[in-house]
Amino acid sequence: MTFRPVKINYLEKEQNNRALGEEGERLIVEYEKWRLIKEGKESLAEQIKWISKEQGDGTGFDILSKNANGTDRYIEVKTTILSKETPIFLTNNEYKFAASKNKNFFLYRVFNFNKHTQFFQRNGSYDNYSILKPQTYKAYIT
């Protein structure tokens, strides 16, 4: 039997760190409340829901917020301790959801977390602002 070394993709491992992701989401929930209150929409700020924490993963987004006009604002948060150039990993479900809610979908990219935490946002489908490269495949053996 031959054993082969396996390279661990620490970048991907870091991206999938659940605790880090939760802290990034908490930051954005607080930011969204602040944003709406600043716009004079206190009642909308009270309607924000942390979907991934309250209902679990799989909805295609993490936070349900509101736009200033009262419409839904679907937010996916991707957090890293690394720089803003660090690639993100997303599921096919997240990709399809963003495309289906193109106008009201927002990606919040949190980076340099716990160092000099910053974030930016992008609106619309991932196709609008990123280059997508397949990393893994699900294979059904026939």
In-domain check, residue 120? yes
Helical spans, DSSP H, in the chain: 10-15, 18-38, 42-45, 51-54, 92-100
Predicted model pTM: 0.86
CB-based contact 28:75 (threshold 8 Å): yes
For residue 111, being part of any structural domain is answered with yes
Our count of domains for the chain comes to 1
Q: What is the mean pLDDT of residues 113-122?
A: 95
pLDDT given at position 75: 98
Closest CA to 81 of 107, 109, 60: 109
Q: Is the pLDDT of residue 11 over 70?
A: no
Distances from the Cα of 36 to the Cαs of 22, 46, 90, 109, 111, in angstroms? 21, 9, 27, 19, 23
Cα(110)–Cα(64) distance, rounded to whole angstroms? 17
User: At 99, is the pLDDT very low, low, confident or very high (cuts 50, 70, 90)?
Assistant: very high
Domain carrying residue 93: 10-128
Say which residues have a Cβ less than 8 Å from residue 56's Cβ, sequence separation at least 6. Answer: none
Report d(CA 125, CA 118) in Å as an integer. Answer: 22
Asked whether residue 4 is assigned to any structural domain, the reply reads no
Question: Any residues with CB less than 8 A from the CB of 41 and at least 6 apart, and which?
Answer: 66, 68
Across 5-9, 12-16, 20-24, 45-49, least confident range: 12-16
Question: Would 61 be classed as within a structural domain?
Answer: yes
Does the structure show a pLDDT above 90 at 38? yes
Could you tell me if residue 2 is inside a domain?
no
Angle at 24 between CA 101 and CA 75, to 5 degrees: 10
Contacts of 34 (CB under 8 A, 6+ apart): none
Does residue 101 form part of some domain?
Answer: yes
Task: Count the Cβ atoms, other than its own, within 10 Å of residue 17.
Answer: 15
